[in-house]
Amino acid sequence: LAKTTQPISMDSYEGQEVNITCSHNNIATNDYITWYQQFPSQGPRFIIQGYKTKVTNEVASLFIPADRKSSTLSLPRVSLSDTAVYYCLVGDMNTGFQKLVFGTGTRLLVSP
Amino acid sequence: GAVVSQHPSWVICKSGTSVKIECRSLDFQATTMFWYRQFPKQSLMLMATSNEGSKATYEQGVEKDKFLINHASLTLSTLTVTSAHPEDSSFYICSASQSVQETQYFGPGTRLLVL
């Protein structure tokens, strides 16, 4: 299973763009990259998923370089409610991301 | 996206009693569900994989006789913590996906406190 490395924590202010980078040097050919958000005492919430280049949805963008050994989650104009822990995971789409291995995640604190 | 529910959302019990936690996929069928445990300020740790109609697969270090898993239907998996002790106090979270090619969606979690 590919291991991921993220910064332990990040600080930001309301209205700023936040970019969280995740390293996954041993990502496999069939692996997809998925990001989850978790608030205290809640289950993780799916944010975005991608395989290569750029993916964008209504809440975030995911940038994946050609070598796929890292990925960057971009949150545009964060608000206080974006304070949460963000997890980057890689998993084989063919097996449905079986046995997801959660790393430490990145604790994002958004201040006024 | 797919909706996964858990019941109860929180439970307090005495040491030595058993507690059952339900995980339901509300708008889809899930052949496989997963159970995680999360201690305060820590990440999620996979406990076991729940397979509909067959035995669960437990991760190393997780006692199968203590954490009983039953996946009797395509929409319901249950986790029973038997003879609970204070060290079992934790946040238990399940996840499920519509098919093996789909992203996993997580339930809201169940907070267990054993006194």
pLDDT of residue A28: 87
- Chain B residues whose CB is inside 8 A of the A34 CB are 103
Cβ distance of B97 and A96 shorter than 8 Å: yes
Q: How far apart are CA A17 and CA A1, in angstroms?
A: 31
pLDDT in tens, B16-41: 999 999 999 998 888 889 999 999 98
CA distances from A95 to A78, B100, B113 (A): 33, 5, 34
Measure A79 CA to nearest chain B CA, in Å: 22
Residue A52 has pLDDT above 60, yes or no: yes
Q: Please give the helix or strand (H or E) that residue A92 lies within, else none.
A: strand A84-92
Out of A15-19, A97-101, B37-41, B49-53, which region has the weakest mean confidence (pLDDT)? Answer: A97-101
Residue-level pLDDT at B31: 82
Q: Considering chain A, what is the average pLDDT of its residues?
A: 91
Say whether residue A70 is in contact with chain B using an 8 A CB cutoff. Answer: no
pLDDT in tens, A74-89: 999 999 999 999 999 9
Tokens, residue B81: 């913590």
